[in-house]
Structure 1
Amino acid sequence: MATAKKKIHYAWWTLVALCIIVGLAKGALNSSAGLFIPGATQELDILTGNLTLYFSISSIVTMIFLPIGGKILAKYDIRSVLIVAIILQAGSFVAFGFSNSVWGWYIFSIPLAVGGVFTTVIVGPVLVNQWFKKKNGMALGIMGAAGGLLGAIAQPIVGHTIANDGWRAGYISLGIAIIIIVVPTVLLLVRKSPQAIGLKPYGADTASAVGSDGAKEELDKGITLAIARKSSAFYSLFLFFLLITSIASFAIHIPSYIQSRGYDVSFAGNAMGAYMIGVLLGALVLGFLVDKIGSRNTVYLAMVLAIIAVLALLLATDSKMVITLATGLFGFTVSNSVGTLAPALTTSLFGSREYSQIYSTASLGLAIAGIIALPAYGYVFDFTGSYTPVLYVILVLLILNIILVTFAFRGKKKLLTQGHWN
């Protein structure tokens, strides 16, 4: 019996699989996309703004396909869905490597987005919720940090591959490598649910014992969507989502910015490795700070650190070390503001009563920003020959975010005074 108790629960093997699948899909594929832009635009004589429109197409497809993807994942075998999804997503990178016009990116951004809906958005929360009734927050944090770690490893490799063998070889080799790694991982480690292999979720007994009526009532407290949508707190949150995603979208252009300052793609890949390390550390540190000092104070700190990062990118472009550190700090603060701080702010402002409805509605700001900001930054570079105007705009947006969060919590205070929190 003692030996049985020490056996590792299969939930942790599921988490290992998710770290590999989601980590590679986000950290290696999605986060490396910017490294290919300068080489592809130069060789094919394509405007940066025109090429980066494929990110907007991808964002639109993601918005449309998300509700469909949820139904597919619930209806069909999860392993089959994930295998098809990674082939669509990583296979699109292979197709990019054979593209000779901007239409190649536009067309294959569709399967890229469809596959990414499963590998980068849905599967992580779904499987963690199925397998972990205890420590599920920690599991999500580990999964997020894994994306940063795998991205930190992959980015320099991709950068060196592009520098030595060209952007086409980079696209093709990366896409094939991801498929080769992820497909066996899915087959070996992923199971539909604990019940499918005769287990209970990790911590199920403890979770059920703790879950009293009082705890449920506490979890259900908050503000309804109908009330929230009429409040200044909601519109401040919506605009925060819009602006922080617009700021985070610049990460795709960082490799192009670095190369526009006279550095090669190999160094840009190394800098993006530092960016992913920042994402890794930020996922852990900012989540910890939210619990310790609250979401509002954590956002203030993150925005100030992000301002420092942007100023360093603007003013210290002659130092590789400063550029690398600034890029890492940008990943630490801004990228995790989207994945960690935005959901935490929603909970702090409106509670858990109708969290999913409020968060999904406010998240339209995330989608709109992704559609607009990415090509807009590219066109600014095309028409001015510099990303400097973009960085000054980002500084303004960061300051506005501090103001918006302040207004959001003032709006919450009004809602509390009016007795809407119940």
Structure 2
Amino acid sequence: MSKVKSGSVWAWLVLIGCIGFYSIPTGIIANTSGIFVAPVMDQFGWSQTDTTMYRTIQPIVSAICAPFAGKLLEKYDPRWIMTAVSAVFGLASVASAFATELWQWNLYGVVFGVTAAFFMYLAAPVLINIWFEKGAGIAVSISAATLSLLAVIASPVGQALISAYGWQTARLVLSLVTTVASVVLCAAFVRKSPSVMNVLPFGASQTGEDAEERSAEEAAAAVAAAENEGATIEEARKSPAMYTLILVAGIFCMCAAFFQQIPAFCAHGELGASVGAMAVSIIMVGGIVGKLLLGALNDKIGIQWTGLIATIGGALGITLAWQSGANEAVFYAGMAIFGFGYAGLTVIAPMLTRGTFGPRNYSQIYSWVSTGIFIATAISFTVYGLIYDNTGSYDGCFMVVIALYVVAAVLVPFTLKAGNKLWKK
């Protein structure tokens, strides 16, 4: 009788593949886009609005494409889908190094948007939730923390390349590294499901006379039963939990996006621009630690309490920073705590989806959550900009962020309870 091994190392290899198509392009290319704005503006004489328009186009296109991406990932082999996505995004980024017209950058924004619908928020949580019966929280957090770490490294490296060789060479180098690493890791390690590799998900319970192995028939039955647990996409769409889930994910996105306003807040206030620059680094480091801790907490105490910790941490951190005045120590402490809320976007959203609706139609359900995240990304800068332009102060922005975290804290337990009614008896 054929045997199927439990707790396969393949789950962790698939995680490496997820880092390839998700953490590397997002960390190295998407999160370093800001360092190219000034040199591109200076060379071509464009306004900042025109130069960054492609980053507004990207989340809008991604929001439109995300539901279709979810269906494709569920129907076809994600190994080759994500390998193709990695190659298209990487080559488009390489081509952007030679872009000299605004329409070329805007076209890049469209390609970026289509591919990001697959790699930026959707595919990694989908695969991790298939491959990890236990430990999914820490696996998601590892991929997200790797992204942040790569961004921390890539930004100064990219800036050094710009200073030494110009923005085109710097963008070409970063894009080539991203393309090769993403395609190789994705093709080598991504696999559709444990059953394809004749293994069980990581952490699957072991039964029978042999604790090391289970028969293929037993394994197939166990995996099929686990994958069919949860609400259908039709049931989810009829439940208020679907819409509060999307709202919670959008809130975490809106609040996380506020960190980009911190340098301007400091520069226009008592703390000064240098404190603002340091604060961004502290938020990034706090986010790395926060992602790992939130992932571990999810696996230990569940998503409800972990979600509350993330929302309370975000609200507390922003409140401390807002009320710090000229006290740098208090301000930095607030930014470090805010890292927990910042980390919630990439940890809480996917794990709340799994906890609310189960794995049955996870990819399609989470594709709609991704749509909400992309929409929140598109409007966040406009919202904060309008508040500052109309009040001449960032106080209103801080109050909005705090209020949003409070709303999320209320919605997390409601979402879980309402969604679980559909499938948990």
| Larger displacement relative to structure 2 (394-403 or 18-27) | 18-27
Question: Which residue identity is paired with 2:349?
Answer: A
How far apart, in 2, do the equivalents of 1:124 and 1:105 lie? 27
Question: Which residue identity is paired with 2:177?
Answer: I
Give the corresponding residue for 2:408: 401
Judged with a 3 Å threshold, the aligned counterparts in structure 2 of structure 1 residues 384 and 38 are, in CA distance, closer, same or farther, namely: farther
**Counterpart among 359, 368, 387 of residue 394 in structure 2:** 387
Give the corresponding residue for 2:279: 271
Deviations 1:172-225 (CA, angstroms, capped at 9, x unpaired):
625533423542664588437679xxx957768779587364664355333344
Deviation at 1:316, TM superposition (A): 2.5
Query: Is 1:346 the equivalent of 2:353?
Result: yes
Query: Is 1:177 the equivalent of 2:174?
Result: yes
Deviations 1:246-283 (CA, angstroms, capped at 9, x unpaired):
2222234344444444744x765543333332232222
Query: Is 1:308 the equivalent of 2:316?
Result: yes
Judged with a 3 Å threshold, the aligned counterparts in structure 2 of structure 1 residues 41 and 303 are, in CA distance, closer, same or farther, namely: farther
Question: Which residue identity is paired with 1:59?
Answer: P
Judged with a 3 Å threshold, the aligned counterparts in structure 2 of structure 1 residues 180 and 348 are, in CA distance, closer, same or farther, namely: closer
How far apart, in 2, do the equivalents of 1:317 and 1:158 lie? 33
Judged with a 3 Å threshold, the aligned counterparts in structure 2 of structure 1 residues 40 and 188 are, in CA distance, closer, same or farther, namely: closer
Judged with a 3 Å threshold, the aligned counterparts in structure 2 of structure 1 residues 13 and 357 are, in CA distance, closer, same or farther, namely: closer
Give the corresponding residue for 1:293: 301
2:94/2:176 contact within 8 Å kept: yes
Give me the CA root mean square deviation. Answer: 4.5
Question: Which residue identity is paired with 2:286?
Answer: G
Give the corresponding residue for 2:93: 89
Query: Is 1:191 the equivalent of 2:188?
Result: yes
Query: Is 1:243 the equivalent of 2:240?
Result: no
Deviations 1:364-405 (CA, angstroms, capped at 9, x unpaired):
432322222233223434454443321211111111112222
Question: Which residue identity is paired with 1:120?
Answer: M
**Counterpart among 341, 348, 353 of residue 333 in structure 1:** 341
| Larger displacement relative to structure 2 (282-291 or 110-119) | 110-119
2:26/2:147 contact within 8 Å kept: yes
Deviations 1:266-313 (CA, angstroms, capped at 9, x unpaired):
765543333332232222211111122221111111111101221133
Question: Which residue identity is paired with 1:376?
Answer: V
How far apart, in 2, do the equivalents of 1:135 and 1:344 lie? 12
Give the corresponding residue for 1:60: 60
1:286/1:340 contact within 8 Å kept: yes
| Larger displacement relative to structure 2 (349-358 or 207-216) | 207-216
1:19/1:143 contact within 8 Å kept: yes
How far apart, in 1, do the equivalents of 2:320 and 2:406 lie? 16
Structure 2 unaligned runs (5+)?
1-7, 202-212
1:89/1:116 contact within 8 Å kept: no
Q: Secondary structure at the match of 2:230?
A: coil
Question: Which residue identity is paired with 1:380?
Answer: I
Question: Which residue identity is paired with 1:231?
Answer: S
Give the corresponding residue for 1:120: 120
Deviation at 1:332, TM superposition (A): 3.0
Give the corresponding residue for 2:366: 359
How far apart, in 2, do the equivalents of 1:217 and 1:324 lie? 48
Question: Which residue identity is paired with 1:337?
Answer: G
Give the corresponding residue for 2:24: 24
- The size of the alignment, in residue pairs, is 397
Structure 1 unaligned runs (5+)?
1-7
Deviation at 1:170, TM superposition (A): 5.9
How far apart, in 1, do the equivalents of 2:336 and 2:394 lie? 18
Deviations 1:129-172 (CA, angstroms, capped at 9, x unpaired):
89x6788835544322211222232345557788x78xx95686
How far apart, in 1, do the equivalents of 2:316 and 2:126 lie? 36
| Larger displacement relative to structure 2 (276-285 or 380-389) | 380-389
How far apart, in 1, do the equivalents of 2:242 and 2:186 lie? 41
Query: Is 1:146 the equivalent of 2:146?
Result: yes
Query: Is 1:368 the equivalent of 2:375?
Result: yes
Judged with a 3 Å threshold, the aligned counterparts in structure 2 of structure 1 residues 392 and 280 are, in CA distance, closer, same or farther, namely: same
Question: Which residue identity is paired with 1:315?
Answer: Q
How far apart, in 1, do the equivalents of 2:157 and 2:79 lie? 38
1:73/1:81 contact within 8 Å kept: no
Judged with a 3 Å threshold, the aligned counterparts in structure 2 of structure 1 residues 15 and 225 are, in CA distance, closer, same or farther, namely: closer
How far apart, in 2, do the equivalents of 1:41 and 1:151 lie? 22
Q: Secondary structure at the match of 1:222?
A: coil
Q: Secondary structure at the match of 1:229?
A: helix
2:250/2:373 contact within 8 Å kept: yes
1:245/1:369 contact within 8 Å kept: yes
How far apart, in 1, do the equivalents of 2:292 and 2:200 lie? 22
Question: Which residue identity is paired with 2:380?
Answer: A
Q: Secondary structure at the match of 1:211?
A: helix
Judged with a 3 Å threshold, the aligned counterparts in structure 2 of structure 1 residues 389 and 42 are, in CA distance, closer, same or farther, namely: farther
1:155/1:270 contact within 8 Å kept: no
1:232/1:407 contact within 8 Å kept: no
